[in-house]
Chains A and B, each alone.
Chain A
Amino acid sequence: METVASRTETPGSAQEAAALLRASERVRIRGGGTRSGWGHVTPAPDVVLLTAGLDSIVEHNEGDLTAVLQAGVPLRAAQERFAAAGQMLALDPPGAPESTVGGVFATGDSGPLRHRYGAARDLIVGITVAQPDGSVAKAGGKVIKNVAGYDLSKLFTGAFGTLGLIAQVAVRLHPRPPQALTARGIGDDAERLAAAASALAHRPLEAECLDVAWSDGRGAVLARFGGATAERGAETSATVLREHGCEADVVEDDAALWQRQREHQRSTGATVVKVSGLPADLPKALRAADALGGTLVGRAALGLWWITLPGGAEAVQKLRAALTPAPCVVADAPEDVRNAVDPWHTDAAEPLVLLRRVKQQFDPAGVCNPGLYVGGI
Chain B
Amino acid sequence: MSDASAVVALIPRLRAICGDAHVVTQHDELRTYASDGLLQYAVTPGVVVLPGSGTEVRDVVRACHEVSVPWVARGSGSGLSGGALPVEDGVLIGLSRLKAVVEVDLDNQRVVVEPGATNVAVSAAVGPTHFYPPDPSSQIVCSIGGNVAENSGGAHCFKYGFTTNYVTGLEVVLADGEVVQVGGKELDRPGYDLLGALVGSEGTLAVVTRITLRVVPAPDHVETMVAFFESTSDAGEVVSEIVSAGITPAAIEMMDGLAISASEQMAHAGYPLDAGACLLIELDGPHEECRARLDEVIALCERHGGRDLRVAQDEPERQLLWKTRKAAFPAAARISPHYFVQDGVIPRTQLPEVLRRIDALAAEYDMRVANVFHAGDGNLHPLVCYSGPEDAARAEELAGRILAACVELGGSLTGEHGIGVDKKAHMPKMFDESDLQAFQKLRCAFDPGGLANPGKIMPTPRLCGEVPGPFREHPLERAGLAERF
What residues of chain A have their CB less than 8 Å away from a CB belonging to chain B? 61-66, 86, 108, 118-119, 121-122, 129, 131, 135-139, 141-155, 157-159, 163, 174-178, 198, 201-206, 227-229, 232-233, 274, 276-280, 301-304, 326-327, 329, 344-346, 348-355, 357-358, 360-362, 373-375
Contact of A63 among B181, B349, B423 (CB under 8 A): B349
Name the residue on A nearest B296 (C-beta).
Answer: A228
Which of A121, A131, A345 has most chain B Cβ within 10 Å? A121
Given contacts A61-B347, A66-B347, A351-B182, contact A158 B193 (CB under 8 A): yes
Given contacts A151-B196, A228-B292, contact A280 B107 (CB under 8 A): yes
Given contacts A357-B446, A362-B441, contact A147 B189 (CB under 8 A): no
Given contacts A152-B438, A350-B182, contact A158 B192 (CB under 8 A): yes
Q: How far is the CB of B170 from chain A (nearest CB, A)?
A: 11
Q: How far is the CB of B113 from chain A (nearest CB, A)?
A: 18
Per-residue interface assignment for chain B, residues 105 to 121, with 1 indicating a CB less than 8 Å from any chain A CB and 0 otherwise: 01111000000000000
Given contacts A151-B197, A155-B442, contact A143 B411 (CB under 8 A): yes
Per-residue interface assignment for chain B, residues 166 to 177, with 1 indicating a CB less than 8 Å from any chain A CB and 0 otherwise: 000000001000
Tally of chain B residues near chain A (CB < 8 A)? 86
Contact of B153 among A86, A145, A227, A360 (CB under 8 A): A145
**Cβ contacts under 8 Å, B165 to chain A:** 118, 122
Q: How far is the CB of B422 from chain A (nearest CB, A)?
A: 12
Quick check: A175 and B246 within 8 Å, CB to CB? Answer: yes
Q: How far is the CB of B279 from chain A (nearest CB, A)?
A: 17
**Cβ contacts under 8 Å, B346 to chain A:** 143
Name the residue on A nearest B174 (C-beta).
Answer: A354
**Cβ contacts under 8 Å, A148 to chain B:** 412-414, 419, 423, 427, 430-431
B157: Cβ under 8 A from any A Cβ: yes
**Cβ contacts under 8 Å, A151 to chain B:** 151, 164, 196-197, 199-201
Contact of B442 among A63, A277, A279, A358 (CB under 8 A): A358
Q: How far is the CB of A377 from chain B (nearest CB, A)?
A: 9
Quick check: B410 and A327 within 8 Å, CB to CB? Answer: no
Quick check: A159 and B348 within 8 Å, CB to CB? Answer: no
Quick check: B190 and A147 within 8 Å, CB to CB? Answer: no
Q: How far is the CB of B165 from chain A (nearest CB, A)?
A: 5
**Cβ contacts under 8 Å, A158 to chain B:** 188, 192-193
Contact of B220 among A145, A204, A352 (CB under 8 A): A204
Given contacts A146-B415, A198-B107, A361-B445, contact A276 B188 (CB under 8 A): yes
Per-residue interface assignment for chain B, residues 30 to 51, with 1 indicating a CB less than 8 Å from any chain A CB and 0 otherwise: 0000000000000000000000
A157 to B192, CA, bound (A): 8
Per-residue interface assignment for chain B, residues 194 to 230, with 1 indicating a CB less than 8 Å from any chain A CB and 0 otherwise: 1111011100000000000000011110000000000
**Cβ contacts under 8 Å, B108 to chain A:** 278-280, 303
Quick check: A327 and B348 within 8 Å, CB to CB? Answer: no
Quick check: A204 and B186 within 8 Å, CB to CB? Answer: no
**Would you mind naming 26 contact pairs between A and B with Cβ atoms under 8 Å apart?**
A66-B347, A118-B165, A138-B431, A139-B439, A141-B411, A147-B151, A147-B414, A148-B430, A149-B430, A154-B193, A155-B192, A155-B193, A155-B196, A204-B217, A205-B286, A228-B289, A233-B286, A276-B188, A303-B108, A327-B188, A327-B190, A350-B194, A354-B180, A355-B191, A355-B192, A361-B441
Contact of A351 among B180, B240, B248, B419 (CB under 8 A): B180
A108 to B189, CA, bound (A): 12
**Cβ contacts under 8 Å, B151 to chain A:** 147, 151
Given contacts A147-B150, A349-B191, A351-B181, contact A63 B200 (CB under 8 A): no
B187: Cβ under 8 A from any A Cβ: yes
B244: Cβ under 8 A from any A Cβ: yes
Which of B106, B183, B188 has most chain A Cβ within 10 Å? B188
Q: How far is the CB of B292 from chain A (nearest CB, A)?
A: 5
A353 to B181, CA, bound (A): 12
Quick check: A348 and B189 within 8 Å, CB to CB? Answer: yes
- 9-residue interface stretch from B59-67, B329-337, B374-382: B374-382
Name the residue on A nearest B464 (C-beta).
Answer: A361
Contacts A131-B438, A150-B442 known; 17 new A-B pairs at CB < 8 A: A64-B378, A118-B165, A141-B410, A142-B410, A143-B410, A144-B378, A146-B345, A149-B457, A151-B197, A153-B196, A155-B192, A155-B196, A206-B286, A206-B289, A350-B190, A352-B191, A354-B180
**Cβ contacts under 8 Å, B430 to chain A:** 141, 148-149
Quick check: B379 and A145 within 8 Å, CB to CB? Answer: yes
Name the residue on A nearest B131 (C-beta).
Answer: A204
Quick check: B439 and A152 within 8 Å, CB to CB? Answer: yes
Which B residues from 84 to 137 make CB contacts under 8 A with A?
106-109, 129
3 nearest A-B pairs in the assembled complex, by CB-CB distance = A154-B196, A350-B191, A175-B246
A138 to B433, CA, bound (A): 10
Which of B178, B190, B195, B348 has most chain A Cβ within 10 Å? B190
B418: Cβ under 8 A from any A Cβ: yes
B19: Cβ under 8 A from any A Cβ: no
A358 to B174, CA, bound (A): 14
A353 to B446, CA, bound (A): 10
A204 to B160, CA, bound (A): 13
Contact of A276 among B186, B195, B417 (CB under 8 A): B186
